[in-house]
A = this chain, B = another copy of it.
Amino acid sequence: MEKEIPETSCDIPIRLDNQPLIESVEVDLPVPSLSDNAADLDRLARSLSQKGFSPIRIAPGKMNEFVGKMRENDLRFRAVVGYTGRDWEVLDVVALSPDAPVLGFGLDLGTSTLVLRLIDIARKKTIREVLVKNPQAAHGEDILSRIIFAGDAGGLGILRRLLVEACSDAMEKMLRDSGVSALCVYALSCAGNTAISHFFWGLDPSNICREPYIPAANTFPIVRAAELGFDFLPNSLLYLFPNVGSYVGGDIISGVITAGLNRSDGVRMLIDVGANAEIVLGNCDWLLACAGAAGPALEGGVVERGMQAMAGAIDSVRIDRKTLDPELRVIGGGKASGVCGSGLIELVAEMFSSKIVNIQGKFSTGLNCARFRNTPDGPAYALALCSQSSDGREILISEVDIGIFLKSKAAMYTILSLICRKVGLKFDDLEIIYIAGNFGAHIDPEKAVRIGMIPDLPLETYQAIGNSSLLGACMLLWDRTLLAEAEKVRNMITYVELNVNVELINEFRGALFIPHTDPKLFPSVRFPQDGPQ
Complex interface bits, A4-43 against B, C-beta within 8 A gives 1, otherwise 0: 0000000000000000000000000000111001111110
Cα–Cα, bound, A214→B201 (Å):
41
Asked if residues B215 and A39 are in contact (CB atoms below 8 Å), the reply is yes
**In the A-B complex, the 5 residue pairs with the closest CB atoms:** A39-B218, A39-B215, A41-B217, A67-B216, A32-B214
**In the complex, chain B residues whose CB is within 8 Å of the CB of A216:** 39-41, 63-64, 67
**Scoring A residues 164 to 207 as 1 if CB is less than 8 Å from chain B, else 0, what string do you get?**
00000000000000000000000000000000000001111001
Q: Given A33-B212, A34-B211, decide whether A201 and B63 contact each other with a Cβ distance below 8 A.
A: yes
Q: Mark A143-173, 1 if CB is under 8 A from B, else 0.
A: 0000000000000100000000000000000
Q: Which residues of B contact A204 (CB under 8 A)?
A: 64, 67-68
User: A221: which of B58, B86, B215, B220 is its contact (CB, 8 Å)?
Assistant: B58
Residues of B within 8 Å of A217, CB to CB, are 39-42, 63, 67
Whether A37 contacts B221 by the Cβ 8 Å rule is no
A218 and B38 contacting across the interface, CB-CB below 8 Å: yes
User: Is the beta-carbon distance between B55 and A86 smaller than 8 angstroms?
Assistant: yes
How close is A360's CB to chain B, nearest CB, in angstroms? Answer: 38
A60 close to B (CB within 8 Å): yes
Contact status A40-B223, CB under 8 Å: no
Please tell me if A219 contacts chain B, counting CB pairs below 8 Å: yes
Chain B nearest Cβ from A484, distance in angstroms = 14
A386 interface hit (Cβ, 8 Å): no
Interface string of A471-482 (1 = CB under 8 A from B): 000000000000
A466, chain B: closest CB distance, angstroms: 29
Does A498 interact with chain B (Cβ within 8 Å)? no
Please count how many residues in chain A sit with their CB below 8 Å of the partner chain's CB atoms.
Answer: 45
CB distance from A218 to the nearest CB of B (A): 4
Chain A 51-66 near chain B by CB (<8 Å), digits 1 or 0 = 0000101111101100
A286 within 8 A of B: no
Chain B hits for A265, CB < 8 A: none
Q: Which residue of B lies closest to A238 (CB)?
A: B60
Residues from chain B with a CB closer than 8 A to the CB of A42 are: 217-219
Interface presence of A227 (CB below 8 A): yes
Task: Tell me if A212 and B60 are in contact (CB < 8 A).
Answer: no
CA distance A15 to B220 in the complex (A): 37
* A518 interface residue (CB < 8 Å to B): no
Contact B202–A64 (Cβ < 8 Å): yes
A228 at the interface (CB under 8 A from B): yes
**Closest residue on chain B to residue A198 by CB atoms:** B64
Not counting A32-B214, A42-B219, A68-B204, a sample of 11 additional A-B residue pairs whose C-beta atoms are within 8 angstroms of each other reads: A33-B212, A34-B212, A38-B214, A39-B217, A55-B86, A60-B227, A60-B228, A63-B217, A64-B156, A64-B204, A64-B216
Residue in contact with A214 in the complex, picked from B40, B63, B228, CB distance below 8 Å: B40
